[in-house]
Amino acid sequence: MARMKFICDAERCIECNGCVTACKNDNEVPWGVNRRRVVTINDGVIGAEKSISVACMHCADAPCMAVCPVDCFYRTDEGVVLHDKDTCIGCAYCSYACPFGAPQFPSTGTFGLRGKMDKCTFCSGGPEANGSVAEFEKYGRNRLAEGKLPLCAEMCSTKALIGGDGDVIADIFRARVVKRQTAGKNAGADVFGWTTAYGQPDKAGAKAAPTGGKI
Amino acid sequence: MKLRTVTAALLALGFLSACNSEPGSLALNSKRPDIAPFMGADNGFMVKGWKPGDAKSWQEEINKRNQQQSEYIKIK
């Protein structure tokens, strides 16, 4: 069975926000909620600016599931982390636990009213019947049940964002990295990985990478 | 003596049963009744070429679309 995942290729993302727009439009996401967003680092620095599209990563060991006090999350056989809005109380514990900032809360009322949590569903709806109106109104489209992949990935113009079976998309990304490395360019983790966050090991002030030895 | 021992054991068993607790888990309902995607959607937007209800057929369709994301395969 497929284990659904997203990968964003930082070398290809051009910060067009097409994925964000496609997600908002197709799922009719409420005002103030962005299930997907594009994050840019080193903005304006020539040669160093990188963008990446971020949403729920459908973690194998999801922290949102672990902290939810009403246990509204569940994982499908395809590895997609979904939640039940009928159970959610909008406490936002998941928002604090998530390292990607995926859980979003609509704020449509007065006095900072916080509604039920909303997040990327990997275009696979929720507990309601597949493709039903009830499912669409609460969670958006169920493209997986239509035999399709998430719209953000399928419409990405540069194919920076790829989504689907983890093994397959990892192979697609690996092929790109190998091709770039063969051409003598930086690729893979050299572009957007450990060194992006912690610096190059040979530069002053860089933190030492863990050696993986025994503790 | 024997009766006293048996009575004491039965009483201890009765008292200790109150110390039982349900097994705890972080995600008790991690598997919920959700209809699998291979069952298809009743909304008229289904992709043609696979049979709803057939997991293998759905998997093949998804794999096909997965591969379409690689232009190295497209240009071969």
Strand A73-75 relative to strand A81-83, pairing? antiparallel
Q: What residues in B contact A73, CB-CB < 8 Å?
A: 27, 30
How far apart are the CA of A168 and the nearest CA of chain B, in angstroms? 7
> pTM of the full predicted structure?
0.81
Q: What is the ipTM of this complex?
A: 0.82
- A119-138 mean pLDDT: 94
- Average per-residue pLDDT for chain B: 81
Taking one residue from A and the other from B, the number of pairs with CB-CB distance under 8 angstroms is 108
How far apart are the CA of A62 and the nearest CA of chain B, in angstroms? 10
Residue from the list B37, B63, B70 with its beta carbon closest to the beta carbon of A130: B37
The pLDDT value given to residue B44:
87
Higher pLDDT, A111 or B57: B57
| Confidence class for position A215, pLDDT limits 50, 70, 90 | very low
Q: What residues in B contact A154, CB-CB < 8 Å?
A: 65, 69
Asked if A81 and A6 count as a contact pair (C-beta separation under 8 A), the reply is no
Q: What residues in B contact A78, CB-CB < 8 Å?
A: 37
Say whether pLDDT at A49 is over 70. Answer: yes
How far apart are the CA of B47 and the nearest CA of chain A, in angstroms? 6
